[in-house]
Structure formats: structure tokens, C-alpha cells
Amino acid sequence: MLGVQTDTLVGMSTRLTKAVIPAAGLGTRFLPATKAMPKEMLPVVDKPAIQYVVEEAVAAGLTDVLMITGRNKNALENHFDRVGELEATLEAKGDTERLKKVEYSTSLADMHYVRQGDPLGLGHAVLRAHMHVGREPFAVLLGDDIIDPGNPLLSRMIDVHEQRDASVVALLEVDPAQAHLYGVATVESTDEDDVVRITDLVEKPAPGTAPSNLAIIGRYVLKPQIFDVLRETQPGKGGEIQLTDALLELASGPHHGGVYGVVFRGRRFDTGDRLDYIKSIVQLAVERDDLGPDLRRWLRDFAPTLKD
Ligand code: UTP
């Protein structure tokens, strides 16, 4: 076996273990909040957005998490690290509930970090994971996209990857007026209701020109051939190295097993977008036992006072 490194061998795959979380974007839509802090650290109720994403990876059985970080990475690393002084203070106070929450975030997964350097695009960020991932399939979860914590989207995508030995993206039906903000897919149906085969992809099509309303959202299960393709991918839309462009190559290249989409019908929040961020806080908070009853009561009183 020594020295043998074929994708066929890897194809006889064991269950995925590695998650890659790109979190090196500039977060310009959230300035000035993101001037000195990554947007992935913005709190959604009382947890930073990134913790929901790591928890989702762990819930899907991915215990090895590689975060792609940029400038201001310290807050991200510190969040998943121990803070002895804080733990000692909570312990001394007998505040076991908060102590458990603090300890939980440090014991979630086996965390690793790599810097992207310049934010040259999502494709470039994913390529930075190559050394760590090697020739295994892996998942990519965008650090600012929250999927409803109760929804097993990622596990479903991993199953589809294993059944079809192909890369898999998550697709969401969006309002056609919003399609220009996403990578948009042209698809063919399969024998499974929630699975489609991707035949074409376009990153952020000009308004009114999107080939469908099926948008790629921030979850991917990728075969390692994506690295070979990304290495050759030239800057595309916005001068960035686009993951969508590399996925199109995987979808159309004859040797890569194609790309499938799992059509997601649950709730998803783009916390990098200010309005979606606010909605995520309200929706997740109203469902909580500790905050929900008071918040619901307040919202009921507040809503009738709103004017257009
Ligand atoms: P976005 O396009 O939403 O991130 O990228 P952004 O560029 O930070 O956002 P704005 O438009 O300036 O507000 C989606 C995900 O990809 C990561 C981001 O951190 C985010 O999680 N990303 C993007 C990188 O890690 N590196 C990049 O070069 C670009």
C-alpha cells in the first residue's frame, strides 16, 4: 500500500470526518462592526454565529474542523480555546450553568486553523485546506450561514455523496429577484425527490438572467479532486477565485463523478447580511425556553405599533 495514493482507494470511502469552515472574508456588509472582529463572531442570541456552524458539523459526525481565518483571527481561535481565568471565576461563584456553556465551546471538536493571507475568494480559501484534508472527501460549511439547528441537511448531503460517489452542494429555491446574489444552478431531476444533478452553474448572474431560482447556499460535500481543479481556476466574478467555477468543472469534467444538489426546504440564515442576521436572532430567540415567552409577548405588543 505504501506510496499508493489513488482516488479509487479513497472512493472506497469511510465516513467523512473533516469539515472546512471558511471565515476569512472581509465582511464589508457589516462594517463598522467587522472592522476589528470577524463577522462570524457576531452573536446570534448568546452564541457567535460560528459556534452554530461548528455544532452543525459535529452533529453530522464531523469531528475534525479546519477553520480558514484571515485578519482578526484571534477572536475565532480564542472562542474555541480554554480561558482558565474565566472558568476559575465561574467555578468559584458556583455558576455551573455558565461554566458548562463555556467549557462546551472548547470541547466541541478537534479545531485547526490556517490563514488565507489575502481574501482572494471562496475558492482560494478552500484551496488553503488542501494540506490538512489530503485526498479525502470533506465538507465545507460557510462560517456565516446558519442552517436551522434541527435540520439534518449536512447528514443528508453526506449520504448522497456516499451513494453517488460525487460532490454535493446545497440548493435553496430563492426569490428570482434575489438570484443575482448567489451561484445559480441548472439541474436535471433524479430518482430522488430532493436530489438533482447539476448540469450548469453561474456565479452571481446579472439581474434577470439567472437560469433558475436554485441558488447554492453555504454547504458543500466535496471530493478531493476539487483541489486539482481549484489550483487551475482563474479569478472569475469580482476578480475572486470562485468555488462555483471549480464546481462547474467538476460537474462537466468526465472523470470527477459529477455534482449533485440536495434541495433544502428548511430555514437558513445568512448572518453576513444585516436583515437576515436580525431575523435569525428574533426567530431563534422566540423558540428558546428562557427568552421565548417574554420576547413573544413583547413582539405582540410591539408589532401593532409599526407603521409602513
Ligand atoms: P462572503 O462573500 O459572504 O464574505 O463569503 P465576505 O466577502 O466577507 O462578505 P462581504 O460581502 O464583504 O460582506 C462567504 C464565506 O466565504 C468566506 C467568508 O468568510 C464567508 O464565510 N470567504 C470569502 C473567505 O473565507 N475568503 C474569501 O476570500 C472570501
CA 241 to ligand 1: nearest atom: 28
**Residue of 42, 140, 144 with the most ligand 1 atoms within 8 Å of its CB, for mutation:** 144
Separation of alpha carbons 56 and 21, rounded Å:
11
CA 124 to ligand 1: nearest atom: 28
Q: Is 191 among the domain residues?
A: yes
Separation of alpha carbons 282 and 260, rounded Å:
33
Q: Where are the beta strands (DSSP E) in 11-135?
A: 18-23, 43-44, 47-48, 64-69, 110-115
Q: Is 271 among the domain residues?
A: yes
Q: Is 79's C-beta closer than 6 angstroms to any atom of ligand 1?
A: no
Residue 196 to residues 137, 174, 233, Cα–Cα distance (Å): 20, 16, 25
Q: Is 8 among the domain residues?
A: no
Q: Is 284 among the domain residues?
A: yes
Tell me, what's the pLDDT at 79? 92
Separation of alpha carbons 211 and 188, rounded Å:
13
**Residue of 21, 26, 240 with the most ligand 1 atoms within 8 Å of its CB, for mutation:** 26
Nearest CA to ligand 1 atom 7: 25
30 Cβ neighbours under 8 A, 6+ residues apart: 39, 42, 272, 274, 277
Q: Is 274 among the domain residues?
A: yes
Q: Is 249 among the domain residues?
A: yes
CA of 97 from ligand 1 middle (Å) equals 34
Separation of alpha carbons 185 and 213, rounded Å:
8
CA of 211 from ligand 1 middle (Å) equals 24
Separation of alpha carbons 140 and 220, rounded Å:
5
CA of 272 from ligand 1 middle (Å) equals 8
Q: Is 2 among the domain residues?
A: no
CA of 24 from ligand 1 middle (Å) equals 6
- Cross-strand partners of 44: 47
Tell me, what's the pLDDT at 13? 52
61 Cβ neighbours under 8 A, 6+ residues apart: 15, 16, 17, 155, 158
Q: Measuring CA to CA, which residue among 115, 105, 40 is closest to residue 79?
A: 105
Question: What is the extent of the structural domain holding 139?
Answer: 18-302
Q: Is 196's C-beta closer than 6 angstroms to any atom of ligand 1?
A: no
21 Cβ neighbours under 8 A, 6+ residues apart: 50, 53, 54, 57, 65, 66, 67, 68, 140, 141, 142, 143
CA of 188 from ligand 1 middle (Å) equals 29
CA of 96 from ligand 1 middle (Å) equals 36
Q: Is 10 among the domain residues?
A: no
How many domains does the chain fold into? Answer: 1
Nearest CA to ligand 1 atom 2: 25
The CATH number given to whatever domain includes residue 197 is 3.90.550.10
Q: Is 123's C-beta closer than 6 angstroms to any atom of ligand 1?
A: no
Give the pLDDT means over successive 10-residue stretches in the chain (308 positions). 41 77 94 93 96 96 95 87 86 88 85 94 97 96 93 96 96 94 95 96 92 96 96 94 95 84 96 96 96 97 91
Q: Is 25's C-beta closer than 6 angstroms to any atom of ligand 1?
A: yes
Q: Is 144's C-beta closer than 6 angstroms to any atom of ligand 1?
A: yes
